[in-house]
Every structure is written in structure tokens, then in C-alpha cells.
Amino acid sequence: MAEQLNPFKMAQAQLDKAAKKLNLDPQIHTFLREPMRELWVSIPVKMDNGSAKIFKGFRVQYNNARGPMKGGIRFHPEETIDTVRALAAWMTWKCAVVDIPYGGAKGGVICNTKEMSQREVERLSRGYIDQIWRCIGPEMDIPAPDVYTNPQIMAWMMDEYSKIMGYNVPGVITGKPIPLGGSLGRGDATAMGVVYTMREAAKIIGIDLKDATVVVQGYGNAGYNLSRLLTKRGCRVIAVSDSKGGILNKEGLDYQTVKGHKDKTGSVIDFPGTKQITNEELLSLECDFLIPAALENQITGGNASNVNAKVVAEAANGPVTLEADEILSKKGVFQIPDFLCNAGGVTVSYFEWVQNNCGYYWTEEEVYEKLDKKMTKALYDVYGLAIKEGVDNRTAAYMVAVSKVAEVVKLRGWV
């Protein structure tokens, strides 16, 4: 990975920019630039052919000043420790910006689940917990699903942890299936959070969401759910993409048939009645909302000037680099920064943890109502500070989040 696109260095540079605006105590700033704890593990897994394969995994616990650490687990063939560090840092700021009592963490395993059987994935999931169980728990660090992990994997992990402890511990993991203590509304929580922030951004800049054109990069769980939810609100999703390429139809795409095509063929490309485009071309399409919902470092200094969207809603983590931020800001693009925009998932994970702890479960309507209030307040907190301080929305989001964490670090006497 090129040095300037190292995700952790990017996360540190974003923090540095906000710390300067906040006149943050240098000692607190230094403390907040690094993870508090890192765990590297080797996970032996018996494969179906009888051989044993060793997988490398990580758990980065960035900060727990405001409460138990929280963060997903990624199963990805190109996972790196710097990616996990960056995501753990962003989780710290994400929890703070929406004001939930968590710190930040993240986990990852270097693997390709597409080349593994379900039994092998289960053994890997349980093996990961066997390696990290001493460092997690409902009051310590609460994992959740992320890239290429899902509720079934969370169920195996929760079961493995419960076996080790000798009793059921539903609150150790969130994003679980509903019968195991999962929360209603968790499946599309990230997408719902993005939609709520888009709705308010549309009001701020004077767009009618019902007539808005939308481009979505990434057609996984978040991308599909975003297309579905936005179409139902009257938006016209004109282009979507996955790792193999993209499709464009300016009249609009039907989210259900596109999903059916991808499920059948493995990609959105070659969908009937559409123009084939590259991911690079997709990012430059004229639209009201551009939603990067794939991986990090998609909009860079090399292509940001080509962005023709009024709003960039960052559903993915770290999709826009620092250099691109400057360019988009000068172009007048309204950005909804990642750790605010996609905070719906961790917010409903928090709701799930609360429900697990009290043994009382809410309706889907109650979950969405509470999520809407959290996301809407967070957006206006950030936008209000951006206007007051004359900074871009990402810097304002960092200022809101970092000031909350720094205050608690100081109150606890850590620095």
C-alpha cells in the first residue's frame, strides 16, 4: 500500500488536523494517536481435507475511556494491521460522535471465506474466539460483524465464548441472529443511518430527496439495502457497482432484480438494459448523492476533481483520502464523513447490547425511532460546529468526537 494511502496514517493525520483546531493538550493528543492495546494471534484450523492451516488474526483495542470497546470483525484476504488500527480509531470517534458510551476496537483475520466451506468458516470463527476470549466481554470489548462476516458467524462466536465461560453470554457479541438475542432492525441499521443523514443533508442544501439521483459504489449488504431504502423514498438509483465493475441506467435501476442478477452471476455487470462502466467512471457520474459503500481509499487526490455529486455520503470506512477532502471541499461538495454517516450499525449494536443486558427487547419501530434521533442530532452537532468554526464536516466531526474522548481521558486522570 502506498505510504500516503496507509489508512492508519490517514486516520492519524485527520486526528492531527482536528487536534490543532481544538488546541488539544499535546499529551492527550499524543495518547490518542495510538491504540492502547494490540493482539496478534495465530489460529490453527482443521480443513475439510484433513490438513491444518494457520490463519493470522488481529484485535486492536484503541481506546476505552468512554466505556467498553466496540468494533467489528473482518474476514478479508488482504487484511492488514494498519487497516485494523485505522478502523479501531474510527470506531472510537464514531461512538463518540453519536454519543454512545463505548470506546473503539476492531478485529480482522486474513482469510478468503469464498474459498472455504461453511464448516471451515465455523472452525475459524470459533478458533478466533479461542485466541482472544480473555480480552473481550460485555464490559470489556464487544465484537460485531463486518466485511465478510455475518449473524451466523456471530452466533458461532457467541456460542464459543459462552462455552468457555460456562454460561450464556449474549452481550459479548452484537449483530447476532434474532433468536440468540439480536436486535430487530440490526440487519439494515447501517443503511438506515446513512439514509437519515442523507435526508437531513438534503434539507440543508435544498435537495428534494424524493427526486434525487443516487450512485452507489459497492453492492454488498450496505449497498443493496441503501438502494432498497432510497428507492422506496422516491430516489432514483442510476448506477451501482461491485469489485468487477459497474452498471448505469439513467432511468433508474430496480434494486431487487439487480440483486437477483448478482446472486445468480456473482456480479452486477452484464445486467440487461444497462451500460457497463468502470468503478472509476462511476465515481465521476453526475448525481445528487454519491455513496461510496465499498472499501477505503476510493476517492483520492487523483480522481476527486472528477466527482460530480452534490453530496458524498460515506457509507464505507475511509473511502476519501485527506488530499481528496481538500479538493471536494473546494468544489463545494457536502460531505457526510464516514464515522458519522455509517454509525447506524454501531448505534443499533449498542441498542442490542442494552437489550441483552436488561433482558427486554424493543420493537423494530422503537429501534428505528431511537436510531433516527441519534443520527439526526449527530449530523446537526457536526454541521453546526462546521459552520461556527469555518471548517469542513469531517474536521467538525473529529472535533466533536475527539473533544468528548479527551474530556473523559482528562477527568479520569490518565494524562
156: which residues sit within 8 A by CB, 6+ positions away? 122, 125, 126
Report which of 300, 311, 292, 317 is spatially closest to residue 92, judged by C-alpha positions: 317
Report which of 293, 214, 228, 236 is spatially closest to residue 256, judged by C-alpha positions: 228
First to last CA, the chain: 34
Residue 102 CA to residue 332 CA, distance in Å, equals: 33
Q: Is the dihedral of CA 122, 131, 358, 94 positive or negative?
A: negative
Active site residue 106: yes
Residue 242 CA to residue 377 CA, distance in Å, equals: 32
Angle CA(306)–CA(258)–CA(147) in degrees, nearest 5?
A: 70
Which of left, alpha, beta for 297 (phi over 0: left; psi -120 to 50: alpha)? left
Report which of 136, 73, 70 is spatially closest to residue 103, judged by C-alpha positions: 70
Place of cell 468494533: 71
| φ, ψ at 35 (rounded to 5°) | -65, 150
Residue 8 CA to residue 11 CA, distance in Å, equals: 5
Place of cell 477532502: 325
Residue-wise DSSP of 370-389: HHHHHHHHHHHHHHHHHHHH
Can you tell me whether residue 225 is helix, strand or coil? helix
Report which of 354, 344, 341, 349 is spatially closest to residue 393, judged by C-alpha positions: 341
Asked if 38 and 314 touch (Cβ cutoff 8 Å), the reply is no
Sheet with 334-336, strands from edge to edge, namely 275-277, 245-248, 236-242, 213-217, 286-292, 308-313, 334-336
Asked if 58 and 143 touch (Cβ cutoff 8 Å), the reply is no
Query: How many other C-beta atoms lie within 10 A of the C-beta of residue 21?
Result: 16
Give the active site residue among 17, 106, 310, 374.
106
Q: Which residues are catalytic?
A: 106
